[in-house]
């Protein structure tokens, strides 16, 4: 039978809304899906992510077949080296008139695809990914001529464009665009987060778990805890559970840090959005309708929608605007190697060990853990930007470079010199203490700055401020911090930076 188009579907494009399927014709076209060595090995992926993506791919292939598509599926067992190999092999076997694919999310693959056009014997077409709410062109247009690319203004435009949380006059519901101030409560243990609903693995997922456990023994991740949804139906059920049970407290505890609580009131939907099981606009509309039905406060709904309509689209825009150079940026010259305990969580710093351990074993940490615990430590200690970005790209179940890189390199490490954040997200132990209860369980004292029992974040914070004081002196948002530092007596400053040096040299010796 002749094939008109060979339609390549990537592991993070598992949606019937995928343009390559939307434009397709099940009668004449063939879908190709491939589990290839290169994609599973380009970074040390968490086993949760491997199982999630591979199982979701296998489930999606079945759904496609049920919907009448012919699917050629190359699985891990065939040890196919790369997507290009899979494609060449299939083109030879099936002789399609043309090959097409929706543009990939990561630059590395996009670049490789540019060569495919020349190397394949048939035409190769890339389609725009319409599953995002701002196209590359939209973002470029928004960014053009602006001195500063502030997320807040982008977000307001997006709210208006999609009519989300607007009142009858087209203004923001409640009279304000942003309820961030209401969403910064610390954790005092007054509420009990509901247990993780999750999804029990079915037979297909259990088979993938066994395979991944065998083949990827060198990767992090405790698969006895695997409870991610791998189908649209189950991901939608998790969205519903979130709206019913956690959304109402989501905003209040968005920035909280709770000892022994890996999930708190967060949605855990990022991975589903990123691989195509959920659509961003549908998720935002569902949350808006929960607010309109009186199921949550405006601050919770707004806070949540801002993350998806605002941050998620904005970081993608930044990534494609700035790549490939973005990846090389290292404005603060951070080159210190990652301490080995980043791969075990074995440190006495309680906040950090919990965040690292759950990242490694569950493939998940919530935003404040990623930004203000792990990222903040990496920033203060001047850990290598490249190594930290690679670590983040590996450990999280939702990690794809278009979203991971701007968040890590830009937001957490300030390595883009403030393109994304007008001041570094640097904080001492006081912040962690204010936001939760880790410090009560820690061997370090968050009130002390120097000496063996002092919280390491404190001296490292001031050491960071001191070593970059020249650079930060031109930043109005850093004025107060610098003035506070300068106000300390010289002997105290000296004692703090000396202790910071001791901590940094210990890190290097580990």
One symbol per residue from 278 to 317: x for binding ligand FAD (CB under 6 A), - otherwise; what is it?
Answer: --------------------------x--xx--xx--x--
Nearest to 229 by CA among 193, 273, 262, 195: 273
Residue 360 binds to ligand FAD (criterion: CB under 6 A): no
Q: Is 445 exposed, middle or buried (0-12, 13-18, 19+ CB in 10 A)?
A: middle
Residue 433 binds to ligand SF4 (criterion: CB under 6 A): yes
Sequence-distant (≥ 6) Cβ neighbours of residue 403 within 8 angstroms: 270, 274, 312, 315, 316, 319
Select from ligand FAD, ligand SF4, none the partner in contact with residue 372, using the beta carbon and a kind-dependent cut-off of 5 to 8 Å: none
Select from ligand SF4, ligand FAD, none the partner in contact with residue 243, using the beta carbon and a kind-dependent cut-off of 5 to 8 Å: none
Member of 11, 251, 429, 500 binding ligand SF4 (CB under 6 A): 429
In the numeric block, which tokens belong to residue 71?
């699917």
Member of 52, 99, 442, 503 binding ligand SF4 (CB under 6 A): 442
Angle in degrees, CA 341, 347, 349, rounded to 5: 135
Q: Which region, judged by CB under 6 A, interacts with ligand SF4, from 82-90, 331-339, 439-447, 477-485?
A: 439-447
Member of 366, 414, 438, 468 binding ligand FAD (CB under 6 A): 366
CB of 221 to ligand FAD, least distance (A): 15
Q: Quick one: CA torsion of 74, 80, 83, 89, rounded to 10 degrees?
A: -80
Member of 87, 301, 374, 439 binding ligand SF4 (CB under 6 A): 439
Query: What 3 state SS string does 23-73 have?
Result: CCCCCCCEEEEECCHHHHHCCCCCHHHHHHHHHHHHHHHHHHHHCCCEEEE
Residue 159 binds to ligand FAD (criterion: CB under 6 A): no
The full DSSP string for 154-193 is: HHHHHHHHHT-SB-TTSSBGGG-S--GGGG-PPP-S-S-P
CB of 111 to ligand FAD, least distance (A): 20
3-state secondary structure of 102: strand
Helix axes 83-94, 107-119, angle to 10 degrees: 30
Q: 272 pairs with which residues across the strands? A: none
Q: 445 pairs with which residues across the strands? A: 454
Select from ligand SF4, ligand FAD, none the partner in contact with residue 311, using the beta carbon and a kind-dependent cut-off of 5 to 8 Å: ligand FAD
Member of 392, 462, 464, 499 binding ligand FAD (CB under 6 A): 392
Residue 396 binds to ligand FAD (criterion: CB under 6 A): yes
In the numeric block, which tokens belong to residue 451?
């000496």
Which residue bears the tokens 């980043």? 342
Select from ligand SF4, ligand FAD, none the partner in contact with residue 351, using the beta carbon and a kind-dependent cut-off of 5 to 8 Å: ligand SF4
Residues 449-488 interacting with ligand SF4 (rule: CB under 6 A): 455, 457
Residue 407 binds to ligand FAD (criterion: CB under 6 A): yes
Residue 139 binds to ligand FAD (criterion: CB under 6 A): no
Member of 263, 396, 444, 499 binding ligand SF4 (CB under 6 A): 444
Distance CA 410, CA 368 (A): 15
Helix (H) / strand (E) containing 208: helix 203-215
CB of 253 to ligand FAD, least distance (A): 10
Q: Between 309 and 412, whose beta carbon lies closer to ligand SF4?
A: 412
Q: Which region, judged by CB under 6 A, interacts with ligand SF4, from 132-140, 238-246, 434-442, 487-495?
A: 434-442
Q: Between 140 and 440, whose beta carbon lies closer to ligand SF4?
A: 440
Residue 124 binds to ligand FAD (criterion: CB under 6 A): no
Helix (H) / strand (E) containing 341: none
Q: Between 61 and 264, whose beta carbon lies closer to ligand FAD?
A: 264
Member of 36, 134, 338, 349 binding ligand SF4 (CB under 6 A): 349
Member of 370, 414, 438, 463 binding ligand FAD (CB under 6 A): 370
Residues 32-51 interacting with ligand FAD (rule: CB under 6 A): none
CB of 396 to ligand FAD, least distance (A): 5
CB of 286 to ligand FAD, least distance (A): 12
Select from ligand FAD, ligand SF4, none the partner in contact with residue 269, using the beta carbon and a kind-dependent cut-off of 5 to 8 Å: ligand FAD
Residue 402 binds to ligand SF4 (criterion: CB under 6 A): no
In the numeric block, which tokens belong to residue 249?
């407290």
Nearest to 193 by CA among 130, 265, 260, 117: 265
Distance CA 122, CA 53 (A): 29
Q: Which long-range contacts (CB under 8 A, 24 or more apart) does 206-212 make?
A: 208/51, 208/54, 208/55, 208/58, 209/51, 211/54, 211/76, 212/47, 212/50, 212/51, 212/54
Binding positions for ligand FAD, rule: CB under 6 A? 266-270, 273-274, 304, 307-308, 311-312, 315, 366-367, 370-371, 375, 392, 396, 398-399, 403-404, 407-408, 411-412
Binding positions for ligand SF4, rule: CB under 6 A? 349-351, 429, 432-433, 438-439, 442, 444, 446, 455, 457
């Amino acid at each position: 039978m002749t094939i008109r188009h060979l339609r390549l579907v990537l592991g993070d494009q598992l949606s019937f809304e995928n343009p390559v399927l939307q434009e397709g014709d099940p009668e004449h076209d063939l879908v190709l899906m491939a589990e290839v060595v290169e994609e599973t090995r380009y970074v040390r992926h968490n086993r949760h992510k491997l199982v999630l993506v591979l199982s979701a791919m296998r489930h999606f292939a079945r759904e496609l077949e049920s919907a009448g598509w012919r699917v050629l599926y190359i699985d891990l067992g065939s040890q196919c080296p790369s997507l290009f190999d899979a494609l060449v092999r299939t083109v030879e076997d099936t002789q399609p008139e043309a090959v097409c694919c929706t543009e990939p999310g990561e630059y590395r693959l996009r670049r490789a695809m540019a060569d495919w056009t020349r190397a394949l014997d048939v035409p190769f077409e890339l389609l725009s990914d319409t599953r995002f709410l701002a196209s590359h062109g939209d973002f470029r247009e928004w960014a053009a001529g602006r001195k500063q690319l502030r997320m807040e203004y982008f977000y307001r435009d997006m709210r208006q464009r999609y009519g989300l949380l607007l009142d009858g006059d087209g203004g923001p519901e409640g009279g304000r665009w942003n309820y961030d101030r209401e969403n910064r409560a610390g954790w005092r243990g007054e509420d009990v987060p509901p247990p993780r609903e999750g999804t029990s693995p079915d037979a297909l997922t259990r088979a993938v778990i066994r395979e991944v456990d065998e083949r990827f023994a060198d990767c992090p991740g405790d698969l006895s805890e695997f409870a991610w949804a791998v189908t649209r139906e189950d991901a939608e059920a998790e969205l519903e559970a979130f709206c019913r049970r956690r959304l109402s407290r989501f905003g209040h505890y968005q920035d909280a840090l709770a000892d022994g609580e890996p999930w708190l009131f967060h949605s855990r939907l990022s991975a589903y959005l990123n691989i195509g099981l959920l659509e961003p606009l549908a998720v935002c509309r569902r949350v808006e309708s929960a607010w309109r039905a009186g199921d949550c406060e405006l601050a919770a709904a707004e806070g949540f929608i801002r993350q998806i309509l605002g941050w998620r689209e904005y970081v993608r825009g930044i990534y494609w605007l700035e790549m490939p150079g973005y990846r090389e940026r290292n404005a603060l010259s951070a080159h210190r190697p990652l301490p080995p305990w980043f791969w075990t969580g074995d440190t006495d710093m309680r906040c950090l060990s919990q965040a690292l351990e759950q990242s490694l074993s569950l493939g998940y940490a919530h935003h404040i853990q990623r930004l203000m615990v792990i990222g903040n430590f990496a920033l203060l200690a001047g850990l290598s930007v490249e190594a930290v970005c690679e670590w983040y790209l590996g450990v999280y179940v939702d990690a794809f470079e278009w979203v991971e890189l701007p968040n890590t390199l830009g937001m957490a490490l300030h390595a883009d010199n403030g393109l994304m954040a007008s001041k570094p997200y640097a904080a001492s132990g006081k912040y962690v203490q204010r936001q939760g209860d880790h410090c009560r369980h820690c061997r370090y004292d968050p009130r002390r700055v120097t000496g063996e029992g002092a919280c390491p974040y404190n001296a490292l914070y001031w050491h960071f401020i001191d070593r970059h004081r020249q650079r930060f002196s031109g930043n109005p948002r850093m004025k107060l911090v610098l003035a506070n530092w300068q106000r300390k007596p010289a002997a105290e400053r000296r004692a703090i930076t000396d202790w910071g040096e001791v901590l940094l040299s210990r890190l290097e010796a580990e």
